[in-house]
Amino acid sequence: MELYRAAVDVLRMFMLLAGSAVIFIGIARGLLEARGAGGRGRVARRIATHASLGLEFFVGATILNLILRPTWAAVAATAVTIVMRKLITLSLGRSARVG
Amino acid sequence: MASDERAPVPNVPAVYLRPLRATYGIVEELLVVTVGYLRLVVEAIGAAIVGFGAVATAFRYVLSLLGLRDYSNLEIRLYLGRYLALGLEFQLGADILSTAVSPTFQEVQLLAAIVVIRTALNYFLSKELEREREQVSPEPERDALPTR
């Protein structure tokens, strides 16, 4: 049982690290591509797509967190992550429509 | 039917009821333990699916970052979303099993909240997968093995 919980915790940490790394890489690449015409829009799209992917990893981490710690705090954290992810996805869809 | 017309309840002596009650207790305990293990197995399968999806997605992202494969972030997100949705289905199955053995109202309340969260997440994931699958072209030929 302890081994199972430890394995799930390792996976959760991996997902948090992967999500953070993806968001960081998105910001770094966005800043590097900021020069030139239309740079602002390009940077925004680059950061938003990476943030969206990073948040997907965070959602996975909160799912695993709910397994490990089924508490009200974990439920609230999951709800906040889902709302954030949904907002970013909506924002991405809107910016894609606007162009 | 009037109450006085009912069949009379036989007065069973306590000595006959005692083994029945003991058997019932054993069966109930066995059921609770079995459902507990079953829930654990289903939950572990869900966690394994989510974990495998995360590792595979990270691998795809690294390949894309190094320029070895040409996956867009949307494709990578879809890939992870598929695993998350499948893993969540197993988690929901485990939650359903948990409701069978939750003894207190507090636990049932927390379980209900978790079920709601997981269901909402699964709903959003499925909707997004459906919508974004229409945007992304069908599985590109780069994944296919070369044919002669």
How far apart CA A64 and CA A12 sit, in angstroms, is: 6
Residue A76 forms contact with B (CB below 8 Å): no
Look up the domain containing A63 and give its range: 2-98
Look up the domain containing B95 and give its range: 15-137
- Report the complex ipTM: 0.85
How far apart CA B86 and CA A27 sit, in angstroms, is: 30
- Calculate helix-pair angle for A2-32, A39-68, nearest 10 degrees: 170
Rounded to the nearest 10 degrees, how much is the dihedral formed by the CA atoms of B122, B127, B130, B133?
Answer: -90
- Domains identified in chain B, total number: 1
Of the partner residues B43, B58, B121, the one whose CB lies closest to the CB of residue A59 = B121
Is residue B10, in this structure, part of any structural domain at all? no
Of the partner residues A8, A53, A71, the one whose CB lies closest to the CB of residue B73 = A53
**Where residue B148 falls among pLDDT bands split at 50, 70, 90?**
very low
Chain B residues touching A53 at Cβ < 8 A? 61, 73, 76-77, 80
Is residue B3, in this structure, part of any structural domain at all? no
| Residue showing tokens 């949904």 | A86
Of the partner residues A50, A67, A86, the one whose CB lies closest to the CB of residue B47 = A67
- Domains identified in chain A, total number: 1
B87, two tokens: 């893993």
Cβ(A14)–Cβ(A5) below 8 Å: no
Q: Give the tens place of pLDDT for each residue, B79-99.
A: 998 899 889 889 888 888 888
